[in-house]
Structure 1
Amino acid sequence: MAEEVPKTSTTPEEVVVSDVAPADEKPDTTTDVVVPVEKDAQQEQETSPEKEKENVPETAETESEVVSKPSGDDNVPESGSFKEESTIVSDLPETEKKALQELKQLIQEALNNHELSEVPTTNPPKDEKPEHKEEQKPVEEEKKEHAADVAEETEKEAAEVTVTETEVVEEKVAVSASADEDGAKTVEAIEESVVSVTVTVSEEPKVEAVSLSASPEEVCIWGVPLLADDRSDVILLKFLRARDFKVKEALAMIKSTIRWRKEFKMEELLEEDLGGDGLEKAVYMHGFDKEGHPVCYNIYGEFQNKELYKKSFSDEEKRYRFLRWRIQFLEKSIRKLDFNPGGICTIVQVNDLRNSPGPSKWELRQATKQALQLLQDNYPEFVAKQVFINVPWWYLAVNRMISPFLTQRTKSKFVFAGPSKSAETLLRYIAAEQLPVKYGGLSKDGEFGISDAVTEITVRSAAKHTVEFPVTENSLLSWELRVIGWDVSYGAEFVPTSEGSYTVIIQKARKVASSEEPVLCNNYKIGEPGKVVLTIDNQSSKKKKLLYRLKVKPSSD
């Protein structure tokens, strides 16, 4: 009978890291590592004076003041407890529904008035225009007053002429002469009145025509038209949550984001060929977590490469190009998200701090902070979780100092792990078939793919564990396995079902060191019924995590 191999539970837990650098290791308290903090945290610090130090990107300045001695039993702060809110409107509390409706009304008004994408004019023209109007205003009023006076005088004169003609018939000649003069004035005044009326009548339809032809503007963010369908609600909820459902502040953030995108020429940027120049090794997307979020890996150690560093940050022009490349990368990743209600519209960020550049990399620090500020201001609520791996001990000390100034919402998205716990931590959130080999998974180019599920087993200390693969027909059996950290013995053999057959040693038992190839691949051609038995002998004092998967292909030979 084949052993039933259970898959270990992968429910997310709070991560506590006990592996830190030795006490005799000298701390580099000025090393700069930028910790991304979402805009919702920044907003809460603005509304609470006691949280002014919440802006995590300024860690370089904070770290320089740290005086902390490492301790062997230091633990990472509790983290990873954040649970994403629903993006389905019917699931929202009434207060949030009301805020969403109010924001939608304000957005509709702004669209009708073409306010969202309009760019504010510069100050000098504004200062000049009022002065010009003040000079012209008295002249215009004087003309209007003069016209009114002429019309009034004309009416009086006309009345006088009528009365004179009725009562004094004898003075026809005088009246006639007077009538001629007054008639001329009257005609002139009437002409002015007619002209004035004509202008007024002809201008009113023009105003109406303009107002009728001015339809609401169409504005898109991340490829989603505002107020066009349900996806727009998901977008608006991001801004509302970033501003704690304060509608006016959320609207101001939306307007600011739209204007920035227009100034940054976002649609043109998406089509621009910026090239990677090696940056694809420092930032890349790979696989999904267990909840379906795409995963972005940020490898800080790649910037130790002098050639890559020079190409990316050696002068202002190259730093600006890096910034545009980073924004373009993010935009393309966001366009692949599902903004339908209930869809996956956030990303998991994995930040590898191994060999993170030190304080000498001033240009990198400036470029990273600039990029981070843009992300905070214009990309709210796009992070599902921030996982920091290969975290040095000094970083944990800094985090303990900063932690009291962070909001609970922000802290709940953070997960920290030291070097020896990084793989185990990542496997809590990302399945082994989705996790790259370098980070403890089995995802790599080869015979197996992400559709081939991986079984995870915990091998207790000072214990031996066997895994059996029964085979009933001629076939080719292939498998790959790894033990995180190895330092265990591994062997494989084929045991035939027939009593008269002999056991075949596939892999003689040997101890696999931690420095060896992380993943072992084997295959065996089977010509009779039997089973393949894998043996893991863990004689260390620590429990180990075993990962394996297999494929069986029929064989005609």
Structure 2
Amino acid sequence: MESASPISKYQPLHFQQDDDCASPKPSAPHIKKSLVNTLMEAAALRSPSFKEDTYFISHLKHSEKKALSDFKHSLASSSASAAAASMWGIPLLSDAGDDRADVVLLKFLRARDFKVGDALHMLEKCLGWRKEFGADDVVEEDLGFKELEGVVAYMNGFDRQGHPVCYNAYGVFKDREMYERIFGDDEKLQRFLRWRVQVLERGIKLLHFKPGGVNSIIQVTDLKDMPKRELRAASNHILSLFQDNYPEMVARKIFINVPWYFSVLYSMFSPFLTQRTKSKFVISKEGNVAETLYKFIRPEYVPVQYGGLSRPSDLHNGPPKPASEFTVKGGEKVNIQIEGIEGGATITWDIVVGGWELEYSVEFVPNAESSYTIAVEKPRRIAAGEEAVHNSFKSPEAGKLVLSVDNTASRKRKVAAYRYLVRKSSTI
């Protein structure tokens, strides 16, 4: 029998995998400071981590409870249309004391630092905009942007706390023809803005609007290849629309593939952002995308193009099969064993390493001493940017499958994830 390759780290796994195992906390690698690194450090010093509100009335300060009571009274005394208004299907004033309404009203109060007059003005303007824009009906419209769905802005899965995640990527607009087709004139721009609001409204439909529930989304914005100058008008419109009409709807804003010019964008938008908004920012430079996203989102919900295991078709079939996470240190080789495989069984697996740039191979090792190891996937180097591997193998006899990732040629630690399914052979 041929022996398996030597390993420097061994992770034996049996047929029952632990889907809830967590990756060890990564240690920060030593890197030379750049403008982006300096900006990230400055942002961290400037903006303490955001703590999401629970929306329990009992958790409010006395002054905040009074502000909420005054807000309701002011709303009831305002115009008849405002007093009878609803938002996202929730009546804002109800004799039954609907706690969903409290969640909505508290969002407007927090956006205006519990200043009742300012919050009421913001709410009234928002109600007027929603009526004029037709925001309640936009979800059902066909706006003709099929080519942008799942590419430019889309909802995909949930984070570790259950928040829906919205991805934004505007790099496709570096193509001039694409840019002109979408943003060529003001009418096209307005239609795009309507589509972008549609994406957000679909995400909001996934929220609970209940104290202690999931009441906001996560936004991931990919800055790779984004034509900043051309998209400045659209970006300003989107920022204005969302800040004015969707207060406290985003729990965290994650910027990935951050280029050197992010400081220019940040300085441009910073004066329009509150300190509370800035505290929600997470900034990740190019090359650290998977490691950043895994901190907040499980790999089975991270899109394959960002180092995860989620493909567009996956979420149509219900919740995805959980993945197990692991870390490959620099200079290390990791072997993952899938044991207890019976003869005739079919093993299907997915595996991904953030940033790849390492060697990957798969072997089947039979239990019988007289049998030989089978090279299921011969050793090959997988480049950065390649998506997750998805493959299957039918075992000729009882044995184990060994997935190997060899990072011995690199000093950089990488995050990784895998999952598998074993189907026993059917007998007649």
Task: Provide the TM-score with structure 2 as the length reference.
Answer: 0.83
Q: CA deviation at 1:240?
A: 0.6
Structure 2: gaps spanning 5 or more residues: 1-9
- Tell me which residue corresponds to 1:8: 22
- Tell me which residue corresponds to 1:98: 66
Question: Could you give the per-residue CA deviations for residues 181-201 of structure 1, whole angstroms, max 9, x where no partner exists?
Answer: xxxxxxxxxxxxxxxxxxxxx
The structure with more radius of gyration: 1
Sequence identity percentage: 44
Q: Return the alpha-carbon distance in structure 2 between the equivalents of residues 90 and 398 of structure 1.
A: 40
Q: Is the 8 A contact 2:36 2:258 kept in 1?
A: no
- Residues 1:235 and 2:104 are matched in the alignment: yes
Q: Is the 8 A contact 2:341 2:422 kept in 1?
A: no
Q: Return the alpha-carbon distance in structure 1 between the equivalents of residues 29 and 314 of structure 2.
A: 35
Alignment-mate amino acid for residue 370 of structure 2: G
Q: CA deviation at 1:431?
A: 1.0
Say which of 399, 412, 419 aligns to 1:530: 399
- Residues 1:345 and 2:215 are matched in the alignment: yes
- Residues 1:250 and 2:119 are matched in the alignment: yes
- Tell me which residue corresponds to 2:85: 219
Q: Is the 8 A contact 2:301 2:310 kept in 1?
A: yes
Q: Is the 8 A contact 1:16 1:417 kept in 2?
A: no
Alignment of 1:290-439 (within 5 A): 290-359=160-229, 361=230, 364-396=231-263, 399=266, 407-439=274-306
- Tell me which residue corresponds to 2:325: 456
- Secondary structure in 2 matching 1:261: helix
Note the aligned Cα RMSD (angstroms).
Answer: 3.2
Q: Is the 8 A contact 2:358 2:406 kept in 1?
A: yes
- Secondary structure in 2 matching 1:328: helix
User: Judging changes above 3 Å, is the alpha-carbon distance between structure 1 residues 483 and 328 closer, same or farther for their aligned structure 2 residues?
Assistant: closer
Q: Return the alpha-carbon distance in structure 2 between the equivalents of residues 507 and 319 of structure 1.
A: 48
Q: Return the alpha-carbon distance in structure 2 between the equivalents of residues 340 and 72 of structure 1.
A: 38
Task: Provide the TM-score with structure 1 as the length reference.
Answer: 0.65
Alignment-mate amino acid for residue 422 of structure 1: V
Q: CA deviation at 1:247?
A: 1.6
Alignment of 1:59-78 (within 5 A): 74=38, 76-77=40-41, 78=44
Say which of 80, 83, 100 aligns to 1:114: 80
Alignment-mate amino acid for residue 135 of structure 2: M
The structure with the greater share of residues assigned to strand is: 2
- Tell me which residue corresponds to 1:264: 133
User: Judging changes above 3 Å, is the alpha-carbon distance between structure 1 residues 14 and 334 closer, same or farther for their aligned structure 2 residues?
Assistant: farther
User: Judging changes above 3 Å, is the alpha-carbon distance between structure 1 residues 18 and 397 closer, same or farther for their aligned structure 2 residues?
Assistant: farther
Q: CA deviation at 1:19?
A: 7.7
Q: Return the alpha-carbon distance in structure 2 between the equivalents of residues 263 and 516 of structure 1.
A: 43
Q: Is the 8 A contact 1:490 1:512 kept in 2?
A: yes
Structure 1: gaps spanning 5 or more residues: 21-69, 117-216
Q: Return the alpha-carbon distance in structure 2 between the equivalents of residues 496 and 517 of structure 1.
A: 30
What is the number of residues matched between the two proteins?
401
User: Judging changes above 3 Å, is the alpha-carbon distance between structure 1 residues 378 and 548 closer, same or farther for their aligned structure 2 residues?
Assistant: same
User: Judging changes above 3 Å, is the alpha-carbon distance between structure 1 residues 331 and 516 closer, same or farther for their aligned structure 2 residues?
Assistant: closer
Q: 455-464 vs 365-374, which deviates more?
A: 365-374
Question: Could you give the per-residue CA deviations for residues 441-471 of structure 1, whole angstroms, max 9, x where no partner exists?
Answer: 0111578975211111111221221111112
Alignment-mate amino acid for residue 347 of structure 1: I
- Tell me which residue corresponds to 1:550: 420
Q: Is the 8 A contact 1:19 1:419 kept in 2?
A: no
User: Judging changes above 3 Å, is the alpha-carbon distance between structure 1 residues 394 and 421 closer, same or farther for their aligned structure 2 residues?
Assistant: same
Q: Return the alpha-carbon distance in structure 2 between the equivalents of residues 487 and 267 of structure 1.
A: 47
User: Judging changes above 3 Å, is the alpha-carbon distance between structure 1 residues 71 and 416 closer, same or farther for their aligned structure 2 residues?
Assistant: closer
Alignment-mate amino acid for residue 3 of structure 1: P
- Secondary structure in 2 matching 1:8: coil
- Residues 1:501 and 2:371 are matched in the alignment: yes
Q: CA deviation at 1:481?
A: 1.1
The structure with the greater share of residues assigned to helix is: 1
Q: CA deviation at 1:507?
A: 2.6
